[in-house]
Structure 1
Amino acid sequence: MTAVPGTEPRTLTLICDECGDTENVLEVAHDDEIVWPRLGPLGWSGSPFTAGQHRCASCSLIPPPYNRIPAGRPMRGACYDVHEHDDFDTVVITPLTDVDVEVSAVLREALEQALEGHRHLVMDMHAAQIIDSTGLGMLVRAHQHAKQRGGTLTLVAPSRYVRTVLHTMRLEGVFGIAENAGAVLDALRPPGGEHRSTH
């Protein structure tokens, strides 16, 4: 997104990175680095940071292609891998690319399906360097859903960028964070339970 002074006093003109359309908005005090709180209510999607890519509300509604995974990488669905660990009442979902607006719709469905049969979710983020506002909103909703069921949502190996986003949006205390999925499963292991997983 590019923001330029608007035609009216105290306004800005926002230019969509996807289609080039413009939208005039009132200029308000804001963090120079973070734009998500400003763009989210307008229906825009993209990076929470000013320097990232952003799509206007119209472009955000267009179903994107889901062919972003390089050839040869393992996947289930279009952009993620999933392992069910029934003895731990847990599903581990691993995004295989950055968690942006194009893959969030697919992951959202996967998270909803996982929560239908399991209380705990683990999002292994080691392959995702970037997360945008759409992906972050998806995680917040999944966390709320899991919490309502008495479960948890834990992020594994989030990148420095993802950690920075969580800190900036004051969400670092919302999600559990672990270095690897095994540590999460060990913490959820029932007393005297044996490890048995299904893929």
Structure 2
Amino acid sequence: MTAVPGTEPGTLTLICDECGDTVDAPEVAHDEEIVWPRLGPLGWSGSPFAAGQHRCPPCSLLPPPYDRLPTSRPQLGASYDLREHDDVDAVVITPLTDVDAEATVVLREALEQALDTYRHVLVDMRAAEVIDSAGLGMLVRARQHAKQRGGTLTLAAPSRYVRTVLHTMRLEGLFAIAENATTVLDARHDS
């Protein structure tokens, strides 16, 4: 959930991480440790922490997608999942942590190897809530590497925060963005 000042005084606009719909709620203190416990009773579900993923009341009633990652997030030693799809010359790399300077150390090498081996690389961002400048730089370089080799680099399921960073840095048009990796792989099978 993203919370921004509401259109009316004394309100917050809440944005669902699942569907992107917005709802106005009474304003609460801006300390993130206070925001989530006060808004949880309004029907929102998700992480018990303020910084985690949250779903609006209608999305809370839906079952989670079949390919949802576990809510517990591994430490750096297991910071990504890699799934090869030789039948469509693609690989899906799923960062299991935020894409920050620490995770970038491990992800950079995996991306380089993937780009040297496969024509299509999908970076499934569904478990990465945040990206910093090191992660963004890594993705820009990876996209350039893919283009030089005649391949593609697609970002799947980026969080609202990641989308905001891409927009702020005027990079949203640089990357192909998909709702999820499954859709991209299915399209590759059909072509």
For normalisation by structure 1, the TM-score amounts to 0.57
Residue 161 (structure 1) aligned with residue 157 (structure 2): no
Larger Rg: 1
CA distance in 2, matches of 1:151, 1:190: 18
Greater helix fraction, Structure 1 or Structure 2? 2
Letter in 2 for 1:110: A
The size of the alignment, in residue pairs, is: 122
Unaligned runs of 5+ in 2: 1-69
Letter in 1 for 2:79: C
Structure 1 vs Structure 2 CA RMSD = 2.3
Q: 1:127 to 1:174 in 2, by over 3 A?
A: same
Alignment of 1:39-118 (within 5 A): 78-118=78-118
8 Å contact kept, 1:88–1:189: yes
- For CA contacts below 8 A with separation 6 or more, give which structure has more relative contact order: 1
Q: 1:138 to 1:181 in 2, by over 3 A?
A: same
Q: 1:162 to 1:190 in 2, by over 3 A?
A: same
Unaligned runs of 5+ in 1: 1-69, 192-199
How far the C-alpha of 1:75 sits from its partner, in A, is 8.7
Deviation per CA, 1:65-100: give whole Å up to 9, x if none: xxxxx9x75799630000000111111000001000
CA distance in 2, matches of 1:115, 1:178: 19
1:149 corresponds in structure 2 to 149
CA distance in 2, matches of 1:81, 1:126: 12
Deviation per CA, 1:23-60: give whole Å up to 9, x if none: xxxxxxxxxxxxxxxxxxxxxxxxxxxxxxxxxxxxxx
For normalisation by structure 2, the TM-score amounts to 0.59
